[in-house]
Amino acid sequence: MKIASFDGGKIGVVVDDDIVDVSEACGVVPGEWPPVGPVRLIRDFDRLRPVIEAAIESGERQPLASVRLETPVPWPNKVIAYPVNYHAHGREMQAGYRATNQGFFLKPNSSLSGPADAVMLPNVPGREVHHEAELGIIIGRTARGVKREDWADYVFGYACLMDMVVRGREERVFRKAYDTFCPVGPWITTADEVGDAEAIDFKLWVNGELRQSANTRDLVLDIPGMIATASAVMTLQPGDIIATGTPEGVGEIRDGDKVRIWIERVGEMTVEVVQGTEGETEVFSQPYVPPIIKQA
């Protein structure tokens, strides 16, 4: 099942090139704040599935092209992200560590954006903003201390995810926290439809030029390991998102670019890049590589 958010917080199921509004069947109130309807839907999905399936049969179909898709989980408990999780990307970044010995970081929920939202470049002259194509995992159940072999019981589904970043040596979260720096979508494809997520192809293009192409079998810390590691530290909640790391081929995005991501059996989306006027900070007026200065 492909579950989308659209047109101001409605919940829809994508069927072929159409979408069926199942908000009412799921008890989701479009426009509510905070927008936690998708989180409740994920928590209650086992109970709601037959209700949703009936609503698909009886509901009115609208062409997918006639609606505005939004990020599928706009208000998760957290967005977890694994750094340097493909060896070839580690080599291109000259990184001396991997996700297996660094752990994870968090992206703010406020950085989430949807397939129809532009990525707004901050006003940081002299800095490059890079794309990172990633498989996004959507957690399905509350979990702590998940064993590797049990990982699949806790995955609700998958989505395309881009982890945007201002390159530099400053605090990683700071550089990855800007609004619209975490496009997720175009919907969640439930785990049963994706099948073996540990060996799926994914690609990213900028203006039609292929920049990244990889398979999740090349992850350094694999999906069971990512769920075990995150849940060893934190209680995972339904709707939590894991950004699984990017392969080699990261590069700059500029005003006017169109960035397309495709993940096998999950979906694809294209987001526009727009130069914004906000986001200037004292931090990014400093040198790119801060010198190490011994202080008395």
What minimum distance in Å lies between the beta carbon of 46 and Mn ion?
A: 31
List strand residue ranges (DSSP E) for the chain, in order.
2-6, 10-15, 18-21, 61-63, 69-70, 79-81, 105-107, 112-113, 119-121, 129-131, 133-139, 155-162, 165-166, 182-190, 201-206, 209-215, 241-243, 251-252, 258-263, 267-275
**Strand pairing class (209-215; 201-206):** antiparallel
Least separation, in Å, of the C-beta of 115 and Mn ion? 19
If the CB atoms of residues 55 and 214 are measured against Mn ion, the closer one turns out to be 214
For position 80 contacting Mn ion by CB under 5 A, the verdict is no
Residue 31 — left, alpha, or beta (φ > 0 → left; ψ -120 to 50 → alpha)? left
Question: Considering beta carbons, is residue 70 or 134 the nearer one to Mn ion?
Answer: 134
Between 67 and 159, CB nearer to Mn ion: 159
- Asked whether position 163 contacts Mn ion by CB under 5 A, the answer is yes
Of residues 30 through 69, those in contact with Mn ion by CB under 5 A are none
Please name which of 89, 80, 157 lies closest in space to residue 112, comparing C-alpha atoms. Answer: 80
CB of 149 to Mn ion, least distance (A): 26
Q: Which two tokens stand for residue 91?
A: 């080599």
* CB of 235 vs Mn ion, minimal distance in Å: 23
* Strand pairing category for 18-21 and 61-63: antiparallel
User: How many residues in the shown chain lie near Mn ion by CB under 5 A?
Assistant: 3
Closest separation in Å from C-beta 163 to Mn ion: 3
CB of 227 to Mn ion, least distance (A): 17
Would you say 5 or 246 has its CB closer to Mn ion?
Answer: 246
What is the closest distance, in whole angstroms, from the C-beta atom of residue 9 to Mn ion in the complex? 27
Q: Closest CB to Mn ion among 62 and 102?
A: 102
The three-class DSSP label of residue 101 is helix
Q: Which is nearer to Mn ion, 70 or 163 (CB)?
A: 163
| Least distance CB 89 / Mn ion (angstroms) | 9
Q: Which is nearer to Mn ion, 18 or 132 (CB)?
A: 132
Q: Which stretch binds Mn ion (CB under 5 A): 61-69, 105-113, 116-124, 241-249?
A: 241-249
> Given the structure tokens 């203006």, which residue do they identify?
207
The answer to whether residue 132 forms part of the interface with Mn ion (CB under 5 A) is yes
Nearest CB to Mn ion, comparing residues 247 and 267: 247
| Run of H or E including 102 | helix 99-102
**Does the protein bind Mn ion through residue 240 (CB under 5 A)?**
no
18 is an interface residue for Mn ion by CB under 5 A: no
Q: Are strands 182-190 and 112-113 parallel, antiparallel or unpaired?
A: parallel
Q: What is the DSSP string of 201-264?
A: EEEEEETTEEEEEEEGGGBSS-HHHHHHHHHHHS-B-TT-EEE----S--EE--TT-EEEEEET
Q: What are phi and psi of 105, to 5 degrees?
A: -125, 180
- Contact residues for Mn ion, defined by CB under 5 A: 132, 163, 246
